Amino acid sequence: MVTTYRPTVHHEETNQLRPKPAPYVATTPRSHPTVVTLNSLAMGKKIKNKLNSHPKIIKIDHNGRDKSHYFNHEITVRFRKLPTAQELQRIERAIAGKLINQFDHFFIFRSNSKTYHELRYYFQSIPTVAYSEPNYIYLQNEIPNDLLYSRYQWNLPAIDTEAGWRLSRGKKSVTIAIIDSGVDLDHPDLVHRLQKGYNVLANNNVPEDDNGHGTHVAGIIASQPNNGEGIAGMTWFNAIMPIKALNSEGYGTAFDVAKGIRWAVDHGAKVINLSLGNYQPSTVLEEAIRYAYDRDVVLVAASGNDNTAQPSFPAAYPEVISVGAVNPDLSFAHYSNYGTYLDVVAPGTNIASTFSQHRYAALSGTSMAAPHVTALAGLIRSMNPHLTNDDVKQIIIKTAADLGENGKDPYYGYGLINVYRALEQASSWR
């Protein structure tokens, strides 16, 4: 078995650590915690190969290697003015299809016969349409690793987490949203940290994780310390808002991710984690990012796992903190994307965390690096709630430990995050 990282508990905080009623009813009986072995790089490659060869999915080749995808017979449309029921019926007849999803002024239409380009030509003729674009597919930025489990949570001491806990361990009032594949809603290491969330795909309030990726991300942020279970997350008390926007295979659309972001913002999220990406910018997603940013939400995203300088979105949007990954020896992780848009790096290789069905796993990827930064943003906002989202970003950047070339560079950004220095700075930030 493994050595579990056990931070000390101060007596004045023990009352806060007592179990609280969970917001979800357990749907499956709990079993003894198990550690799973996952196939090396095969899972991520399998998804990409499936998308590359699917007859109904179009591939965009960016540079001969990095690719984006969208559905050929679907289109995302933003209306300036909401169409009436009669207008929608007329549109459905014209495209030989139907409306399949909608929120606010954003609509997804699917045709039984017309290609995306034929659909776009049609919607360009409608005066009330602000713009249209493909229904882009976004992939989780995680690479499974076949190492069973880390003997020690190297990621926490590498960024001075325990020292930082002397300054802030988080507050329940600062909610962190995770836009991902959902969360294992009755995992013992997470169950008392969850608040009500949203399943974008099913349009209900049961964001159960049927993939495992979202649960792993959640555990890095909030796996409960000192509860006799598995591992310790970076925050002790912050509430987690699970948003399911990725399916059981680990991918979802820009429309669903954008809808998840809007829901999280409207329901009180202060920090949002986006461990997902695509090389094609989406206007629908960009509008959701700006919606969150304009409402003072801190946005954190993974840079991607293709070892490329091709900008990945949403990480490359200026409103977002873009995160790359490092190895246990703090060297640049060979899979991590890089470039001028990269802000900081965090531990990403062999990261032990929670997994679906009451399990634990060690995974690698920038998907694992991003939640370290998300958790730090939650700790900062817990310590000093008067800080703006820009303040939080600047604190994280200014207190990062410079790695690689002096100053900002494309592989490490401004450097490796440091929890203690960031919280120390936050306490006196003006």
Please give the pLDDT value at position 51: 63
Spans of the chain below 70 pLDDT: 1-22, 25-56, 58-60, 65, 139-152, 226-229, 430
Single-letter amino acid code for the residue at 39? N
* Cβ–Cβ under 8 Å, residues 261 and 288: yes
In sequence order, the 6+-apart residues with CB closer than 8 A to the CB of 90 are: none
Per DSSP, the chain holds a count of helices (H) and strands (E) of 11, 20
- List residues with catalytic annotation: 180, 213, 367
CATH code for the domain defined by 20-41+139-427: 3.40.50.200
Residues of the chain with CATH 3.30.70.80: 56-134
* Cβ–Cβ under 8 Å, residues 159 and 418: yes
Give the integer Cα–Cα distance in Å for 390 and 399: 14
Q: What is the DSSP letter of 372?
A: H
Residues of the chain with CATH 3.40.50.200: 20-41+139-427
Confidence (pTM): 0.83
Closest CA to 33 of 241, 234, 231: 231
The per-residue pLDDT for range 116-144, each reduced to its tens digit, is 999 999 999 999 999 999 888 776 654 43
Query: Which residues are 345's β-sheet partners?
Result: 324, 416
At residue 177, the 3 state secondary structure works out as: strand
Query: Which residues are 241's β-sheet partners?
Result: 177
Structure tokens that stand for 36 in this block: 């799973």
In sequence order, the 6+-apart residues with CB closer than 8 A to the CB of 89 are: none
Structure tokens that stand for 253 in this block: 């659309």
Please give the pLDDT value at position 28: 59
Hunting for tokens 């060297």 — which residue is that? Answer: 331
Please give the pLDDT value at position 296: 98
Q: Is 70 exposed, middle or buried (0-12, 13-18, 19+ CB in 10 A)?
A: buried
Dump strand ranges (E) for 86-218: 97-103, 106-111, 129-133, 136-140, 143-144, 176-180, 198-199
Give the integer Cα–Cα distance in Å for 85 and 99: 11
Structure tokens that stand for 367 in this block: 């998907």
In sequence order, the 6+-apart residues with CB closer than 8 A to the CB of 204 are: 198
Please give the pLDDT value at position 16: 45
Hunting for tokens 């409608």 — which residue is that? Answer: 126
Q: What is the DSSP letter of 17?
A: G
CATH class name, domain 56-134: alpha beta
Please give the pLDDT value at position 207: 97
Instruction: Please give the angle made by the CA atoms of 90, 91 and 94, to the nearest 5 degrees.
Output: 90
Longest dimension (CA), the chain: 68
